[in-house]
Amino acid sequence: MSQSISQFCQSLSLDNEQLAIDRNPQFAFKVPDTFQQQIESGNPNDPLLKQVLPLLSERDFRDDFPEDPVADLAYNPTPSLIHKYQGRALLIASPKCDIHCRYCFRRHFPYQEQVNQRHWQQALDYITVDDSIHEVILSGGDPMSLSENALMALIEKIEAIEHVETLRIHSRTPIAAPERAPQDAFITWAKQTRLHKVMVVHCNHANELSELSQSLLRQYKQVGFHLLNQSVLLKGVNDSVEALTELSRKLFEQGVLPYYLNQLDQVAGSAHFLVDPKTAIKLHLALREQLPGYLLPQLVKDIAGKPYKSALA
């Protein structure tokens, strides 16, 4: 798995020199096999390639791209828990991901300090005493990068908190590395839990969806998960009406409804992915002309200090 960037480029017949690759990126290079298999060989503009290939432009410093753009650390009542919004709290269930997305807004988050079993217990204690929290969101990192045992142990503790009604899982694993997503114990649990179940996957381009993701998502749907998708609007990846229309259609084919199209969180190192807000709003309007309302994601931005994701259009 831990192949070098050079091996990766070689296997995709990419010209190293042309691409201005960062060979020693601060946020490590990581691509799962399934995701790599869907990258077109010899195409430096492949929309999946762009999401994972470290470029030297990640080192460009800009004042308007700080390390914690959404101020998560200001809403961090106990390590590993982010409680920003009414009625729901977000638990950072894992310090790892199966894929490293170059635009990720959590790339500078101090995971190592934040995520361990002792911290989970503190977070669960916090949720237990705050009965306004009806929904717990497992996020990360990626909660599905945990071992199935660790994930199930955590989920069962959440289920035991009476006022929690809904469990939501935010994960890119079912799309980027479906072969690693939890199945047996997780599916068995899902069939009988009292909790409402929501899964928000993360897919930015139709090419990320495969037969593997389809069969996995079908299983999750059959056991009662509401399947939603969030994507990030990314320059050179999905910033066209065609790409976004195809994404919505193909998600629907796999049983998933589009939820959020996120305006990029302006985290240090991600400036080359930014679609300016005016262009984003125009794109969204054009998308509205193409799709039925139920396939139109909400264009939103995480504005630091706001108690919700703000609509841009």
Which residues make up the interface to ligand SF4 (CB under 6 A)?
97, 99-101, 104, 106, 140-142, 172, 202
Among 88, 108, 226, 249, contact with ligand PLP (rule: CB under 6 A): 88
Q: Please work out the total of residues on this chain that contact ligand PLP, with binding judged by CB under 6 A.
A: 8
Q: How far is the CB of 42 from ligand PLP (least distance, A)?
A: 37
Specify the residue, 251 or 293, whose C-beta has the smaller distance to ligand SF4: 251
User: Using N-to-C axis directions, what is the helix angle for 184-192 and 148-159, rounded to 10°?
Assistant: 20
Specify the residue, 34 or 266, whose C-beta has the smaller distance to ligand PLP: 266
Degrees, nearest 5: CA angle 110-101-210? 135
135 forms beta bridges with: 88, 166
Q: How far is the CB of 84 from ligand PLP (least distance, A)?
A: 4
**Helix, coil or strand: residue 168:** strand
Instruction: Answer whether 69's CB lies under 8 Å from 266's CB.
Output: yes
- Binding partner at 84 among ligand SF4, ligand PLP, none, C-beta below 5 to 8 Å by kind: ligand PLP
The residue range among 61-69, 77-85, 93-101, 273-281 that interacts with ligand PLP, by the rule CB under 6 A, is 77-85
| Cα 47 from Cα 235, distance rounded (Å) | 9
Residues 6+ apart with CB under 8 A from 132: 86, 87
Specify the residue, 161 or 177, whose C-beta has the smaller distance to ligand SF4: 177
Q: Which of residues 277-306 bind ligand PLP (CB under 6 A)?
A: 302
- What is residue 40's DSSP assignment? P
| Cα 169 from Cα 144, distance rounded (Å) | 8
126 binds ligand PLP (CB under 6 A): no
Q: How far is the CB of 302 from ligand PLP (least distance, A)?
A: 6
| Cα 3 from Cα 29, distance rounded (Å) | 9
Specify the residue, 50 or 83, whose C-beta has the smaller distance to ligand PLP: 83
- Binding partner at 140 among ligand SF4, ligand PLP, none, C-beta below 5 to 8 Å by kind: ligand SF4
Q: What is the Rg, in whole angstroms, of the alpha carbon atoms belonging to the chain?
A: 19
Do you find a cis peptide bond into 224, omega within 30 degrees of 0? no
Specify the residue, 93 or 104, whose C-beta has the smaller distance to ligand SF4: 104
226 binds ligand PLP (CB under 6 A): no
309 binds ligand PLP (CB under 6 A): yes
Specify the residue, 142 or 302, whose C-beta has the smaller distance to ligand PLP: 302
82 binds ligand PLP (CB under 6 A): yes
Query: Residue 107: which of 54, 176, 144, 146 has the closest Cα?
Result: 54
In this structure, the dihedral spanned by the alpha carbons of residues 196, 202, 207 and 210, taken in order and rounded to 10 degrees, is -40
Q: Give how far the C-alpha of residue 187 lies from the chain's centroid of Cα atoms, to the nearest Å.
A: 21
- Binding partner at 102 among ligand PLP, ligand SF4, none, C-beta below 5 to 8 Å by kind: none
137 binds ligand PLP (CB under 6 A): yes
- 3-state SS record for 45-81: CCCCHHHHCCEHHHHCCCCCCCCCCCCHHHHCCECCE
Specify the residue, 14 or 82, whose C-beta has the smaller distance to ligand PLP: 82
Q: How far is the CB of 170 from ligand PLP (least distance, A)?
A: 8
List residues near ligand PLP by CB under 6 A.
82, 84-85, 88, 90, 137, 302, 309
